[in-house]
Amino acid sequence: MNRNNKLLIVLLTFSIVLNACEKERWDSHDKITDPQLQQNLWQTIQKNPDLSLFSQYLQQTGYDTILASAKTFTVWAPTNEALKSIDPSWIQDTSKLRQLIANHIALTRFTTDIIQDSIRVKTLDGKNIIFKKQQVENANLIEKDLYSKNGILHIIDQPLIPRMNIWEYLNTAFAGSLQQQYLQSLMYSYQDPDSAVQIGVNPLTGQPIYQPGTGIVTRNRYLQKVNISNEDSSLTYIILTDQAYQNEKNKLQVYFQDTTSSQTDSVTQWNIVKDLAIQGIYDPDHLPNILYSANDSVIYHLDKSAIISTYRASNGVVYVMNNINYDLSTKIKPIIIQGENFYDRMDPTKSYSIISRRNPITDSIFREFYMANYGLASYWIRYPRVLNSIKYKVYWVSMNDVQTGNFAMKLAFRAHLDTIPQPPSSVTFDFQFPYTTVTPNNYSEVYLGEYNQNLYGLIDIFLVGNNTTTNGNNTILLDYIKLVPELN
């Protein structure tokens, strides 16, 4: 072995020894020296004499085993003194005790150093709690950010009583109220094929046959539209006193007249409740001048003096109110029907176009339904819409920059037809405006007249071409139709 190779071996050996020493030094540095970090959360809580009552409840509910597992948790543990103030009903009922204890535990680590102002934390009972640097909900942090082997412990001076969500509060505190009774009437059940037990197949249809009584699922039509039971929501919700609720029914029912009083009542109530949820949580002392309903953008002007009580729910805040103020025009809205959004037409074999144009006055781009040179008289396009029982002022915009000559069209109305009679040209109308001449290059709304709708419901609105087969005189061209309700 030559001298150079010997030198290389010496250097390599020295490097290995040096690296081994360095690794041993850092391994020693990284070793857990805090005994607290060698204990899991259950052990940490169990050894704290001021948490003995909480420790006892953990054992009673089985959460001691959970907090001893390999998963990571955050626990807000009330002191013995804090737990003495709890209503005995939370302790005596096993299911309620489990819910209570679960409301003090969350998955993963939550330390105060990650908080700017506050954060929402989902606990093991599915509720969200508000965690701040010095508080969780209304409880103060006595000790905070105590690390253990599998999570973080905070010690607090009040128990975290689970809050009801808005739906639970409505059905508990206001059971039997007009608002609650109507919302409960929207419950329905159906058989869910995914959870039902299949016992055969119909030999005629090939459809599965399910065992009666299996897979029955209960739903609520209101919650499907406005889910005030969702724990992850952040809502401001209005519960009306019975008198306020009745006042709203009296005010709105004129716009929802139906063939029977019971149907009028049901539709009116739906149009009250559908807009009582507002996105976001608002302090009653700092209510904005304008608030928008979560469902249909109704504009509210809530008066603090009309709030008779407040409840902080797990998914928002509830105001119990004896009066509500809103812009009626945002509940009973104008109806705008775009020309291209038609349902059907008299003869689908005839070609049509959706053309894009620029309005030279506003410089905006718009789209129009356009038919020309199709050779039929009184050709119609149908637009079904739900109308309120009210008088409407009716307008259209037909921007004729496609031909130099005039043409005429009209609007007609009738009760909705599921099936058009044959031939389609034989459709009769309940009401129709006279033909209106469309002149070239008029980009303004044209007032057609008033239409009085007696009953709330689905109505067919027809755009009808001129009663002539002469091409150029029977052109159909529509940007939009607008119906503006005349509100009381």
Buried b (16+ CB within 10 A) or exposed e, 417-445: eeebeeeeeebeeeeebeebebeeeebee
Percent residues over pLDDT 90 in the chain:
82
Q: Which CATH superfamily is domain 335-485 in?
A: Galactose-binding domain-like (2.60.120.260)
**Whole-angstrom Cα Rg for the chain:** 35
Residue with tokens 């040209």: 425
| Range name among 29-43, 255-269, 297-311, 451-465 with the lowest pLDDT average | 29-43
Residue 66 makes CB contacts below 8 A (sequence gap 6+) with 73, 105, 124
pLDDT digit string, tens, across residues 133-189: 999 999 999 999 999 999 999 999 999 999 999 999 999 999 999 999 999 999 998
Dihedral sign computed on CA atoms, order 379, 381, 386, 391: negative
Integer Cα distance of 97 and 3 in angstroms: 80
Q: Say what the pLDDT of residue 35 is.
A: 63
Residue 414: partners with Cβ closer than 8 Å, 6 or more residues away: 427, 428, 429, 430, 431, 459, 460, 462
Element counts in the chain: helices (H) and strands (E): 12, 30
Read off the pLDDT of residues 109-129 as tens digits, 9 standing for 90 and up: 999 999 999 999 999 999 999
Task: pLDDT band for 14, please (50, 70, 90 cuts).
Answer: very low
What topology does CATH give the domain 35-156?
FAS1 domain (2.30.180)
CB-based burial, 207-226: b 16+ in 10 Å, e otherwise: eeebeeeebeeeebebeeeb
Please give the pLDDT value at position 477: 97
pLDDT of 378 strictly over 60: yes
Q: For position 34, what pLDDT does the model report?
A: 60
Encode pLDDT of 458-487 as tens digits. Answer: 999 999 999 999 999 999 999 999 999 999
pTM given for the model: 0.84
Taking residues 311-320, what's their average pLDDT? 96
Domain ranges within the chain, ordered by starting residue = 35-156, 166-187+228-329, 335-485
166-187+228-329 against 335-485: fold identical: no
Q: Looking at the predicted structure, is the pLDDT value of residue 44 above 80?
A: yes
> Tens of pLDDT along 178-230?
999 999 999 998 888 888 889 888 988 889 989 898 988 899 999 999 999 99
Q: What percent of the chain has pLDDT over 70?
A: 93
Under 8 Å between Cβ of 41 and 67: yes
DSSP character at residue 420: -
Q: What is the mean pLDDT of the chain?
A: 92
Helix (H, G, I), strand (E, B) or coil at 435: coil
The three-state secondary structure class of 122 is strand
Helix (H, G, I), strand (E, B) or coil at 94: helix
- Confidence at residue 204, expressed as pLDDT on a 0 to 100 scale: 87
The greatest distance separating any two alpha carbons of the chain, rounded to the nearest whole angstrom, comes to 115
What's the start-to-end Cα distance of the chain, in Å?
Answer: 110
Amino acid 361: pLDDT: 82
pLDDT confidence bin for 398, thresholds 50/70/90 = very high
CATH of domain 166-187+228-329: 2.30.180.10
Per-residue pLDDT averaged across 287-314, rounded?
Answer: 95
Taking the CA atoms of 74, 80, 86 and 92 in sequence, report the sign of the dihedral they define. positive
